[in-house]
Structure 1
Amino acid sequence: MPQNSDLSETRTTPEVTATPDNGRESPWERIRRGLRPGQRQMADWQGGSLAVSAVPGAGKSKGMADAAALTIARSQLNHRRQLVVVTFTRSAAANIKVRIRQALETLGLPAYGFNVNTLHGLALNIATQHPEQSGLSLEEATLIAPNQSHRAIAHCVERWIAEHPYRYQQLIEGQSFDGEETERLRRQSVLRTDVLPALAHTVIHESKSSGLLPEDLLALAEASQTRVPDDDYEILAIAVGLYREYQQFLRSRQLIDYDDMILAALRVLREPSTCQIWQERVYAVFEDEAQDSSPLQSQLLELLATDANNRDAPPNLIRVGDPNQAINSTFTPADPIYFRRFCQHCESRGLLATMDRAGRSSPMIIEAANFTLDWVNEHYPRALQGLGTAIVEEALPFRAQHIHPVDPGDPQKGANPAPTGLGLELCAPRDIYATVGAIARRIVELFSHTSEPRSAAILVRENRQGRLIQEIFSNPKAYGLDCELLDRGIPVYDVAANERLSHVPGEILALLNFIDRPHSPQYLKEALRVLVKRQRIQAQDLDRLASRPEQFLYPGPLAPTQSPSELDARGFCTRLLDARIALPIYQLISFIAVELDYNPSELATADKLGERVSRQTARSRSMASILEVLNEIVASESFEGVDADRDTESIYTRSGQVTIVTMHKAKGLDWDYVFIPFLHENTIPGQSWVPPQAQFLGEFTLSEVARAQIRASLHGQKQFYSRRLGDFDPTTAIPSVRESWQQAAALKMAEEYRLLYVAMTRARRLLWMSAAVQAPFTWSKPENLQQQKPCPVFAALAKHFPESVVTVD
């Protein structure tokens, strides 16, 4: 890969004739005419690198899908040379796959020439096709996704303690220690179960996702010893030991994690001949949600997007995202600074597409969101002065990019709908219980005064808030409230309470059981029930059909004549049995998902299920082993479905329903009416804090200090995007422990404000926000009310929009 890519150079392909000779508008023109200016910039792309900064509600998914379809048509892509689309989640992959297929259908083209993957799915595909070069084989290794309590983390902590007794004793003593045995045991427990696992999990994930090997982190730790005078514990040195123990544990148990998949793919692409094979397959890469990408992801995608025959040319790479919606950087390695820099780099060369026309929200909501962006950027530096932290422009919470309503004559229907009520309503109920009562009354009022299909959501900062709301809605009299939601028949869907339930594994198991044993009356009936439930066949007497499977499936000349509904059911069943013969066994789950006409959410869940089954049966891939794994999953109800479908008819955004969901999960969705309660300063922006049980170590946490130091070093790397795996300069500036903790606090504050911005921009017609006068200090004890300050943004909104302030009982 070139060390310096001039993104101003672009590769072009011949134009495809879009207008037929008869003068009528072609499907090509019709698609392009249906796009907004920013979307058209993507659609007109013909090579090179392009950054796309898209505001909330700008239609980036539509723009990306239509641009993909036009690129496939223009460049005549096929099975051998494809467009690769990379998304952040399976849900997004399922959604955009459907959109691209629809656009290709409009163009009269078959649904091929493209591949949609999550990053890890793409990396796994590359790595497993070249096991010798990648060093990865799922037939020999098991994939794990370790969290802080995973046995791999626990093992590396215990091994580190055994190997480093002096450092461990230093941690036990902390800032001060009187030698009392009970306190020693308490501190040991805190270190073993909290502090060291948190440090290990943070550092390992942060390092591996950035391409830092243990030796790279060791070099950084050694450099910090002379340049970080206030680091009495030598935090990065501890981190190196934990990282090494973790890697050794994975090797000894033949385990891999998700970061290993990306590293394995990069090892494959470092081999010139193999890299050329992949680059010849890939015409271009479109990356969605680029603000949430990691350094390693950037390296992988840029390699794939490079032209094998012209490596000095800029990669065929479109990165689409919104730095202002980066809400994962405090608990994942995602770091929006890299996409910001990519945007700046492209902008300096005239290769930045700005999608700032958004049709989702009414103008009043857009104005409130823009005010929030400006207010936070103005006041954020002042807030950091109290922390003693300096601010640079690229570290401001928001990129200076306003949302604008669409232009007159916008091609996409229903843009910028008329507001309901005031459009923006701000209130300060007496307490959190009065807040819930006010929300219920307003929802009843809203749903009662329209015959149009409308949706509503209550967005909460944490699940405990949502749990309380659901409890009050379910039993309002216990809280002294009148709540008519249930009496009016308005359903309430609590995402947190339902997200672990999925019907997909059970349905697929039922059909696979039938495919495996079609002559079993029990399995045939269960399969037919699924088909009736999914409306793939008509409801009928299933017991009669299942009583004689052979006669139903293979009627002889003397068998009774089957009715049209029976013939339809038999045809469906025989197609399933034919697939057992025609398809490889590992493709059956995907085939069944398509045959059941799953929506994008269900398709994504089926893909996830198939990946899990494939991993668990890698050593013995047979129908028996697949059924065994599926039976375990269904019996334990431990499989979590994927929230993939983002259409208005999806389960989260169903009309006539009130959805309770966290702000994080609400990203990518929208509702007519959005309620954001409990906006208090101790929640948004909140503050970084040290758990009381760990304060013996000092007024900071080891994990956040280590994260800040690693990121500061990475931010200082030269030629970061073209940096090859293993090229790491440890001599960049490393902040002190105090500075690192301040940077962690600043990062949290910025992200909390972006999270509020994301929540506000979910609303189409009404945005209702509140900050109760009385609220709990901690939501683990919601009954302990005390006076709480409102979120600074809420107070600023109330001052700037006094006409939106409303009074509630």
Structure 2
Amino acid sequence: DGGMGSEEEDSELHDIAPNSKLQTSNSKLQTPNSLPLPGQLILVTFTRSAVANLKGKICKYLKELSLPTQGFMVYTLHGLALNIATRHPELSKLDLNRLTLVSPNQSNRLIRTCVEQWISANPRTYQRLLEGRQFDGEETERLRRQSVLRTEVLPDLAYTVIHEAKSSGLLPQNLQALHQEAKFRVSEDTEDYEVLSIAAGLYDRYQSLLQQRRFIDYDDMILAALRVLENDRSRQLWQSQIYAVFEDEAQDSSPLQTRLLEILAAHPTERDRPLNLVRVGDPNQAINSTFTPADPSFFREFCERCHIEGRLAEMDQAGRSTHIIIEAANFMLDWVNRRYGKWGDGEMGSKLSPHSLTSSLLPFRPQHIHPVPSDDPQLDANPAPEGYGLEIRFPPDIYQTVDLIGQRVVDLLTQYPEARAAVLVRENRQGRFVAELLRNPEQYHLDVNLSQFGIEVYDVGERDRHSHIPVEILALLQFLDRPHSPDYLKAALQVLVDRRLIPTQDLNALVTLPEQFLYPSPLDPPQSESVLQARRYCAGLLRARLELPQYQLIPFLAMTLQYEQAELATADKLAERIVQQTFGNQSMTAVLEVLGEIVRSERFEGVETDDPEERYIRPRQLTIITMHKAKGLDWDFVFIPFLHEHLIPGQLRVLPQSQFLGDFTLSEVARAQIRASIHGEYPLPDTAAAWERAGQLKTAEEFRLLYVAMTRARRLLWLSAARKAPFSWSKPENLDDRSPCPILHTFVRRFPRSTQ
């Protein structure tokens, strides 16, 4: 894991000679755009930041060994694929002089367009979706359902299916074939919306739009590289230049990515020779599979094949955490496998071998972390615990939770000024709540003020939110320009909901008749308090549009959205740039055009008020960060609050506005059916079985996410679940009784000193 020394990982070792470092270090390294020379080691990792980190560490170790810092190249997987594809444009059909990599914003617009095209071309299927389980034909409800389908259900289905299918090498016609297989497996009591057929149609139109507009996406890079490697001469050229391939974070690879690396790691002429491939990953840290195509089952199956062939090396020692934290992580792994093995029958569990075929049905791969030996060269390996090392609290409410965290942080960072501490949260809204209370202790009646002790509160999500400022301002300005557009009205209302300025509600019901919502007549039905709040905000924005000069609109919107200091500075910078670019033509049309281009190109940097280097792990700082973003990092003291059962493990929910379709979501059903087909499961699961499987995958991933969060701690792990907490963190003030995550009481029984 790049020297962090915390995770247990598996790798496949294929004929990597003991002196391979010496052999490759004597090669000359060319520029990143050039072909690697014979004997090169290719290292592939997940993100661009990981590339820089990995390269820096390898150079450091080579210098310590007095070896040249040459002979290897580090890529992201898509960067490697793009390098291969652009070297052979005639084979890859990928010419960057004519094609443009589609940005996330452009991709979202393409998906919206393909949804509109699909609706026009498939009126009967669309009508079937509109009717749902039952429909009385009422016009307002029809308009509401249209809004839900056009702006939520179908875009979500398209996004999920396009990425799942393309990353597995499936074409639209393959999905149609799967639909023919699945349509004979529909339960009598479940609605059949022909999900895979709809998905295939959306996917086909998305691909057509990409070609028409000369765009490519990230999956196209992998496909283009594979087209190059289908040519014998080109494949042998690349294989002859590469000595071996190393892949990090292999649990997050898709089948297509794995195929690319296996081709590159093969011998150019002798097909029977083993691959020179090392894949390193930890299936128990697969935390992206419910919202990306990263399916950890592929890496588990890969490990089983390697074990059968005698090519599996298990690295089960970690020096990051103190012994009690390792023991707690191992205990949770066993408990989850016992409780959720075969999803509730309790027959399977930790006694299984990691190499059992049945182990792939478990949430975790049955493998324990072990401390490193006493003579390990790591500095402060498996450090002594702070106190007992594991503390579990059940405060009365979430406000008392934050107060307890503040008091403990002051005690620890006063005693250990160079130590590092973090609060890990499940979602950004929890982080925003913690930061708000700790920065305003008097307002919320906290007993401690961190700033008086020289401790900074650093909310990572707050810094990340600055990149959303142009998008939020654009949404509000588009509404001001065309207030009767249902799409623009909904986008503006969504911004207000996200900023917690108006209550969460079904926005589709508000935007079906914009004029009636904005300017109701005495004959219209009375509006609820939540609708009135939303209307007052919108009316205030429209009044400002009439009364303020153009150049004052963006600062006014920033104040309306209650931006904090750094966000206001970013909004001011944005306003200045727009004034410069619209000099001589300050019309709303010109402003929208410039701002739209800024959002589309994603070339606007927020104002950073401090040094970004090592910003997450500084001493005398309490870092607030999500569990997902914390992966790969560690702190001396880690606090994980708000561990409630409705969040971890939680359950898949169907949003109220979509329940007219049934007790499932189309996107998750399609994802489960596509994955079943990739794993060779026939017949495919029907809608009910696919939805149940999606719920099982979510449960497993939530516990793996908690496992990752727990193993970020070195000396102290602090866990809590308040007795009163909100159901939704969009309304943290609405407290009611909440059950803790089921593992917490189990921890208390196993580690009784943790509550003292």
TM-score range, shorter chain: 0.7 to 0.9
Change (3 A) 1:651 1:158: same
Structure 2 SS opposite 1:140: coil
TM-superposition CA deviations, 1:345-385 (whole Å, max 9, x none): 11122211111111000001001101110010000137546
Residue 293 of structure 2 is matched in structure 1 by 333
Structure 1 SS opposite 2:313: strand
C-alpha separation in 2, matches of 1:432 and 1:283: 55
Deviation at 1:77, TM superposition (A): 8.7
Kindly provide the amino acid, as one letter, of the partner of residue 796 in structure 1.
T
Change (3 A) 1:285 1:39: farther
C-alpha separation in 2, matches of 1:788 and 1:476: 25
Query: Is 2:174 aligned against 1:216?
Result: yes
Residue 236 of structure 1 is matched in structure 2 by 196
Kindly provide the amino acid, as one letter, of the partner of residue 481 in structure 1.
L
Residue 433 of structure 1 is matched in structure 2 by 399
Change (3 A) 1:384 1:144: farther
Residue 600 of structure 1 is matched in structure 2 by none
Residue 803 of structure 1 is matched in structure 2 by 753
C-alpha separation in 1, matches of 2:378 and 2:268: 39
Structure 2 SS opposite 1:99: helix
C-alpha separation in 1, matches of 2:301 and 2:50: 24
C-alpha separation in 2, matches of 1:128 and 1:755: 37
Deviation at 1:709, TM superposition (A): 0.1
User: C-alpha root-mean-square deviation of aligned residues, in Å?
Assistant: 3.0
Residue 189 of structure 1 is matched in structure 2 by 147
C-alpha separation in 2, matches of 1:455 and 1:189: 47
Residue 364 of structure 1 is matched in structure 2 by 324
Q: Is the 8 A contact 2:245 2:278 kept in 1?
A: yes
Query: Is 2:441 aligned against 1:476?
Result: yes
Kindly provide the amino acid, as one letter, of the partner of residue 403 in structure 2.
G
C-alpha separation in 1, matches of 2:6 and 2:726: 47
Query: Is 2:102 aligned against 1:144?
Result: yes
C-alpha separation in 1, matches of 2:461 and 2:6: 38
Deviation at 1:71, TM superposition (A): 6.2
Structure 1 SS opposite 2:423: strand
Matches within 5 A, 1:460-475: 460-475=425-440
Change (3 A) 1:47 1:636: closer
C-alpha separation in 1, matches of 2:5 and 2:646: 40
Residue 24 of structure 2 is matched in structure 1 by 72
Residue 99 of structure 1 is matched in structure 2 by 57
TM-score by length of 2: 0.76
Residue 114 of structure 1 is matched in structure 2 by 72
Q: Is the 8 A contact 1:68 1:100 kept in 2?
A: no
Which of 230, 235, 245 is the aligned partner of 1:270? 230
C-alpha separation in 1, matches of 2:167 and 2:452: 50
C-alpha separation in 1, matches of 2:416 and 2:222: 51
C-alpha separation in 2, matches of 1:361 and 1:37: 7
C-alpha separation in 2, matches of 1:488 and 1:641: 27
Residue 687 of structure 1 is matched in structure 2 by 651
Query: Is 2:642 aligned against 1:678?
Result: yes
Which of 409, 428, 431 is the aligned partner of 1:443? 409
Deviation at 1:798, TM superposition (A): 1.3
Residue 413 of structure 1 is matched in structure 2 by 379
TM-superposition CA deviations, 1:169-226 (whole Å, max 9, x none): 0000000001111111100100000000000000000000001011111111111122
TM-superposition CA deviations, 1:357-414 (whole Å, max 9, x none): 110000010011011100100001375469xxxx953021111110101112112221
C-alpha separation in 2, matches of 1:121 and 1:427: 46
Q: Is the 8 A contact 2:638 2:712 kept in 1?
A: yes
Which of 610, 619, 624 is the aligned partner of 1:660? 624
Q: Is the 8 A contact 1:148 1:201 kept in 2?
A: no
User: Please, which moves more after superposition, 70-79 or 92-101?
Assistant: 70-79
Query: Is 2:421 aligned against 1:456?
Result: yes
C-alpha separation in 1, matches of 2:28 and 2:149: 59
Change (3 A) 1:107 1:332: same
TM-superposition CA deviations, 1:30-54 (whole Å, max 9, x none): xxxx999999998997439xxxxxx
Percent identity over paired residues: 58
Change (3 A) 1:274 1:635: closer
Structure 1 SS opposite 2:129: helix
Query: Is 2:672 aligned against 1:702?
Result: no
Deviation at 1:479, TM superposition (A): 1.3
TM-superposition CA deviations, 1:256-306 (whole Å, max 9, x none): 111011111111111111111111111111000000111111010001111
Structure 2 SS opposite 1:133: helix
Change (3 A) 1:677 1:738: same
Q: Is the 8 A contact 1:43 1:71 kept in 2?
A: no
Change (3 A) 1:192 1:392: farther
Which of 153, 173, 177 is the aligned partner of 2:111? 153
Q: Is the 8 A contact 2:342 2:361 kept in 1?
A: no
C-alpha separation in 2, matches of 1:354 and 1:86: 20
Deviation at 1:790, TM superposition (A): 0.2
C-alpha separation in 2, matches of 1:470 and 1:410: 38
Change (3 A) 1:793 1:457: same
Change (3 A) 1:304 1:379: same
C-alpha separation in 2, matches of 1:288 and 1:365: 25
C-alpha separation in 1, matches of 2:427 and 2:7: 35
Change (3 A) 1:41 1:634: closer
Change (3 A) 1:461 1:72: same
C-alpha separation in 2, matches of 1:633 and 1:699: 36
Which of 735, 738, 742 is the aligned partner of 2:685? 735
Which of 302, 310, 315 is the aligned partner of 2:275? 315
Structure 2 SS opposite 1:457: strand
Residue 751 of structure 1 is matched in structure 2 by 701
Q: Which runs of 5+ in 2 are unaligned?
A: 31-35, 347-356, 468-593
Query: Is 2:632 aligned against 1:651?
Result: no
TM-superposition CA deviations, 1:409-430 (whole Å, max 9, x none): 1122210000001100001011
C-alpha separation in 1, matches of 2:358 and 2:13: 35
C-alpha separation in 1, matches of 2:4 and 2:616: 27
Query: Is 2:211 aligned against 1:251?
Result: yes
Query: Is 2:107 aligned against 1:134?
Result: no
Residue 726 of structure 2 is matched in structure 1 by 776
Deviation at 1:500, TM superposition (A): 5.9
Deviation at 1:70, TM superposition (A): 5.2
Residue 43 of structure 2 is matched in structure 1 by 85
Query: Is 2:247 aligned against 1:281?
Result: no
C-alpha separation in 1, matches of 2:622 and 2:270: 54
C-alpha separation in 2, matches of 1:335 and 1:277: 31
TM-score by length of 1: 0.71
Structure 1 SS opposite 2:443: helix
Residue 589 of structure 1 is matched in structure 2 by none
Equivalent residue pairs, number: 607
TM-superposition CA deviations, 1:548-574 (whole Å, max 9, x none): xxxxxxxxxxxxxxxxxxxxxxxxxxx
Kindly provide the amino acid, as one letter, of the partner of residue 750 in structure 1.
A
Structure 2 SS opposite 1:696: coil
Change (3 A) 1:231 1:90: same
Deviation at 1:108, TM superposition (A): 2.8
C-alpha separation in 1, matches of 2:253 and 2:12: 23
Q: Which runs of 5+ in 1 are unaligned?
A: 1-33, 49-65, 503-627, 718-731
C-alpha separation in 1, matches of 2:64 and 2:424: 37
Deviation at 1:80, TM superposition (A): 1.1
Q: Is the 8 A contact 1:85 1:117 kept in 2?
A: yes
Kindly provide the amino acid, as one letter, of the partner of residue 274 in structure 2.
P
Kindly provide the amino acid, as one letter, of the partner of residue 235 in structure 1.
V
Residue 762 of structure 1 is matched in structure 2 by 712
Structure 2 SS opposite 1:86: strand
Q: Is the 8 A contact 1:228 1:734 kept in 2?
A: no
